[in-house]
Amino acid sequence: MVALAQKLGLSRNTVQARMAQLEKKHVFLSFERRINPVSLGYPLMAFISVHVQQQKLAQLAKDLADVPEILEGYGLTGPADLLLRVVALDAEDLFRINGKILACDGVERTDTALAMGELIPFRVQPLLERGSQGA
């Protein structure tokens, strides 16, 4: 906070108060987004499309959140209901994780696609550079 305050020419208290306001508005993503799962021993990434019984979606989301290898999950429109980004140790581990997902009440079936490489990493810099022009 001190370094940021010096760079901006503001008091530390002012910077800290503004940062707290931004945190309350969920402007900042969690720090864990900056940790590469490969460094934790999970070199394999996959996207699993999940077809579910809609009436069980709320409980299913809670159950899936208990699977640590699921990094993200999104509700979708289209042929699949959920898209999960998962990491695994290897193909056998991915098979195990997929089995855990299939065992959850409300899951009808899954389709798995391996990530071959990240072509465009998560970013917001182009939006920041565009500024309010895009809003």
Q: Tell me which of 31-40, 65-74, 126-135 is least confident.
A: 126-135
Euclidean distance between CA atoms 74 and 81, whole angstroms = 8
pLDDT in tens, 9-25: 999 999 899 888 988 88
pLDDT in tens, 95-130: 999 999 999 999 999 999 999 999 998 888 898 888
**Quick check: 33 pLDDT over 90?**
no
Euclidean distance between CA atoms 38 and 87, whole angstroms = 9
